[in-house]
Structure 1
Amino acid sequence: MDKKMMEHKLSLVSLDQSSLTSNLLSIGDDNEVTLETRDFSPAHLLFKIESFSLLSENGIDKIESSEFESNDNYKWKLIIYPNGRNTVDGANHVSAYLAVENVSNLEAGWEFNAVVSIFLFNHKLDKYAFKKGQRRFHPINPEWGFSKFIVKETLTNPSNGYLVDDACVFGAEVFVVKNKGIRECLSFLKVTDSFKRELTISKSSKLDNERYSEEFNAWDHKWKVCVYPKGIGAQKGSHVSIFLHIVGLSSRKKVKADYSIGMKYLNKVHRERNNHWFSASDSSWGWPSFIPIAHVKPSGGFLGPDPCIIEVEISIQAILRSIP
Structure 2
Amino acid sequence: MTNHYKNTISVVYLLFCLFITSASARSSLIRQFTDDLNTNLQQENGAGPIQNLDETHYLNNNQEIASRDYKVSASNTVKGLRDRRPATYSLKMESFNTLLKSTYAERYESRPFSAGGYNWTLVVYPNGNKVDSGSGYLSLYVAIDNSTLVAAHQEVYADLRFYIFNKNERKYFTIQDTDVWRFNVFKTMWGFSHVLPVDTFKDPTNGYLYDGDHCEFGVDVIVPSLFEKSELFTVTEKFDNPRFTWTIRGFSTLLKDTYYSDVFSIGGRSWNIQVSPNGRGTGEGKALSMYLNLNVNEKLRPYEKIYVRAKLRVLNQSQLSNIERQLDNWYNGPEHGRGYSWGYHEFISFSDLRDTSKGFVVNDVLMVQVEMEAISLTKYFPN
More helix by share: 2
More strand by share: 1
Higher relative contact order (CA 8 A, sep 6+): 1
Query: TM-score category by the smaller chain?
Result: 0.3 to 0.5
